[in-house]
Every structure is written in C-alpha cells, then in structure tokens.
Amino acid sequence: MNTGRAHRPQDKRRYPPPSGINHRLHTATARESCANRGIPTSVGLYRGTSEMAVPESGVLQGFPHDKVLRVEEGCDEFISIKHRFYMSIGSLAQYCPLVALQRLRCTADQMIARTEAFKHQSKLLSEKYDGEPNIQDGLYGSSKVGIIQIINHGFDVSALPEDGGYFGIGLYITPEQVAINSVMSSTVDVDGLRHVLLCRVILGRMEEVIRGSGQSQSSSKQYDSGVDNQQFPTRYIIWYPHANTRILPQYVLSVKVDFRSRGLQKQPRTQPITPWMPFRALLSELDKFLPKPTMCRVWRYHCQFLERKITRQELVFHLRQITGDKILIAALRSFQIKKFGAEIAAFLKGKKKK
C-alpha cells in the first residue's frame, strides 16, 4: 500500500555534485559538527550490512553538498537515529539496514527560512492550544530525485497525490511507529537504495479523514491536520497550504531493502532467561539510569543484534560490560515495580466493574 504521495518533480535534470568539492573537507566538517554537538568521533566506524557503491565519506552522489551533511557511521548521532529507525521496524531491520544518514545543514539559507517558518507555526498553535502544538516525528518517502527537489525547493503542492488522494488532497507523512510503510512507498535508485526524509511535523488538533472524501482542508477551524485513524495512525495528512511551514525535514535516511536473503541470515534464537523483560523494555529502563553517550554504546550493540550480526548471549555480555550488574539489576527492579503496579491497577479496575 502506498502510504505517501510520491513526489512528481517537474525538473528531470540530473544533479551532479558541484565541481571542486573536496570530500575530505566534508568529512572534517562532519567530525566538527559531531564535536560541536558533544558527540565523540573516536568511537570507531560502524559499517552497514550491505556493500554499496557509496563513498565512505562525503555527501552521497547527487545530493547538494551545500545543503546536506553526511553523518559518519562512527558518530553517536548516526547510532541514535539508526536505533530509532530499527526499533520502529523491529524484526525487519536485518532486511532493511540503514546504510547512510545525511543531515540537512542548518546554515543553508533555505533551511534557515524553513526553520523560522516552522517556529512561527509552532508558536501560533502553542498560543491556540495553551502551549501544546502537538509536534511529532514522521517520515516521507519518494524517489532520490524527489528528495533532492524537496531539499532544494520544498515540497511540491501543485500535483494531485498519485494514490488518488484516498485520505484527502494533501501531503501524507508516515508516523515513525510505522516507518517501514514510508520506506516501501519510496522508489529504488540505481544503487538499490531507498531514500526517506525524517521530519518534525506540527499536527495541532487532528481530525479523522474519511477514506474517499476528497477533502483538501480542515472541515472546521478547530482542526489543523488530518489522520487516517486516530487510534492507530498510519498517515498524517498535512494540507497543502501548510506543507512547507508545518513540516521540517531534518535527515535523509538511505536504506537498502533486500528480502531475497530472508531465511539465509537467520541464527538459532535461544529462549531468554528472563522472558518477562523484553529488550525494548530493558533499554527504556536503562535510558533512565545512563547518560546519552553510554546509551549510544548500548544502542550500537542492540542494532547489531537486530541485524542478526550478534547473538542474544553476545548482546547480554556487552550490556553487562557497559552498564555493570548494579545498573542492570536496578533497571530490572524498576520494570518489576511498574509491571506489578500495572497488574494491581488492572485487578482493581476489574474488581470495580464487578
């Protein structure tokens, strides 16, 4: 199912990299950017799972060097985004590795203008709803040329959605929880990569849009955006007049999708010693005890586990080395207390109904 409107660029020209670009300069800039954000660059290179015709440093071919910056795989920024992406696609991570990450440059003139417009819209909706503009993360998939057009010129709001506008005539953004939908709706480029934008999206108050309604704007002033399902959203609908002011692209994720290897890379999975404590819950608890750089080390090994590069036993071994048993025990106890409290609350709620 196509969950986003594929971009229809009017300009079919190719976008060669500017002449005279020194890729070493871009690598140094990336390191400096990570350092400025407090992110260590000496943690080692974390290579992707696919052998690609992709340079180890510098912006991917075709992307504007003055508007995007390659984030190095050894950088904690890369690991943080990669882990978020893998957590959203779950067991599909071994078939959809993130092989490159590029950040839109905050210093580019157009990016500065977009950011200011985004802040202005956020302020307006904050005043409208007493400080809660409802800003979420979302993804937008398109072709490589379409992504480059968006970076250079913004979202195209002149064409009808290619899926027929089943949920209104607007721009469809995929919630981060169902990121795989955006990846699969994007177009494969000549290198076998699919490219998606990770964006911040101002949603405000959402209204559920009826399939096939042909809606092109909010039904009343009390709503600011649309959604296909309030309880289990798979599409955020941003109406065209607000597409370039309420959507702020931040990263380009380049993913290699290969389901042909399904079953070939599987490793025997042993039963966990503590089945009542899933890794997702454990990592959530550890995040409360550990500083961000240490959590990035944990996420690095968890990414390798999700890619089936290491076994569960190896992951547990690395966790114990990084956190120490005291922290692990504290996280386990915290989870137990929360679980016990939830069970008691459910019991009392059921008792009241009787």
The pLDDT tens digits for 209-238 are: 988 878 888 989 999 999 999 999 999 999
Maximum pairwise Cα distance, the chain:
76
Q: Are 323 and 270 in contact (CB under 8 A)?
A: no
Q: How confident is the model at residue 166 (pLDDT cuts 50, 70, 90)?
A: confident
Q: What is the mean pLDDT of residues 88-107?
A: 93
Q: In angstroms, rounded to a whole number, what is the distance separating the alpha carbons of residues 299 and 98?
A: 14
Instruction: With CA atoms as reference, report the closest residue to 269 among 320, 315, 300.
Output: 315
Instruction: Name the more confident of 32 and 204.
Output: 204
Of 44-58, 116-130, 228-242, 271-285, where does mean pLDDT reach its minimum? 44-58
Instruction: Name the more confident of 26 and 207.
Output: 207
Structure confidence by residue, pLDDT tens digits, 302-315: 999 999 999 999 99
- pTM for this prediction: 0.75
Q: Is 17 exposed, middle or buried (0-12, 13-18, 19+ CB in 10 A)?
A: middle
CATH 3.40.50.11810 assigned to 23-256 = no
Kindly list the domain boundaries of the chain, sorted by start residue. 23-256, 279-353
As a 3-state breakdown, the chain gives helix, strand, coil percent values, each rounded to 5, of 40, 15, 45
Number of helical (H) and strand (E) elements in the chain, helices listed first: 9, 9
